[in-house]
């Protein structure tokens, strides 16, 4: 796993851990215990930040990409692999369960299945979002109906020469040379 994919695995792993917790326990208890509101706000902020990051990256790279598939391939390099999402989801799940008050735990096989399925779903959703951002960014950037115009422009300056102005009377400051009058025909 590359260093660039760590931020993606942390975000996607957190989302997968929350989905797995909901799949296992439903509405029996609030995830995170006393820290439920803080955990939900942090998850929302981190997820929104990751979506904004991917969107900005798609917009920034869309000028050099020929099609949406090329840009989508470049953006998928920012996403982690499914194995790192599962590992991150397991770590997040263990951390969240550690701060909750003690309750009846889920069976280990159900926990493994829930974490794997939630990680796969979140991973596929992230790939679909990246593909969508890539296609939209390339379509907007290469659209013939929206040319890139500067935000400001200089107005053309017209030099008005009035018929009776000083410049109108001084067209010829001296007569033409005399040699032009003696041409041989």
DSSP 126-173: HHHHHHHHHHHHHHHHT-TTS----S--PPPPP----TTSHHHHTS-S
Tell me, what's the pLDDT at 148?
61
Contact criterion met (CB below 8 Å) for 87 and 61: no
Each residue of 95-128: pLDDT tens digit?
888 887 777 777 889 889 999 999 999 999 999 9
The 3-class secondary structure across 31-91, one letter per residue, is CCHHHHHHHHHHHHHHHHHHHHHHHHHHHHHCCCCCCHHHHHHHHHCCCCCHHHHHHHHHH
Each residue of 8-52: pLDDT tens digit?
888 999 999 999 988 888 877 778 778 888 889 999 999 999 899
Contacts of 116 (CB under 8 A, 6+ apart): 86
Give the whole-angstrom CA distance, residue 22 versus residue 15. Answer: 11
Each residue of 43-88: pLDDT tens digit?
999 999 989 988 888 888 877 766 777 888 888 888 888 999 999 9
């Amino acid at each position: 796993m590359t260093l660039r994919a760590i931020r993606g695995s942390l975000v996607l792993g957190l989302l997968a851990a929350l989905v797995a917790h909901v799949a296992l326990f439903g509405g029996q208890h609030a995830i995170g215990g006393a820290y439920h509101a803080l955990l939900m706000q942090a998850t929302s902020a981190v997820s929104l930040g990751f979506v904004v990051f991917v969107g900005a990256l798609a917009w920034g790279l869309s000028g050099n990409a020929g099609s949406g598939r090329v840009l989508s391939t470049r953006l998928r390099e920012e996403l982690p692999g499914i194995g790192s999402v599962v590992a991150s989801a397991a770590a997040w799940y263990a951390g969240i369960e550690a701060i909750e008050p003690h309750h009846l735990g889920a069976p280990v096989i159900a926990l493994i299945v829930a974490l794997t399925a939630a990680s796969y779903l979140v991973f596929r959703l992230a790939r679909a979002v990246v593909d969508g951002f890539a296609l939209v960014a390339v379509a907007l950037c290469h659209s013939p109906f929206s040319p890139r115009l500067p935000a400001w422009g200089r107005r053309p300056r017209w030099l008005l020469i009035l018929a009776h102005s000083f410049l109108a009377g001084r067209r010829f400051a001296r007569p033409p040379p005399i040699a032009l009058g003696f041409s041989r025909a």
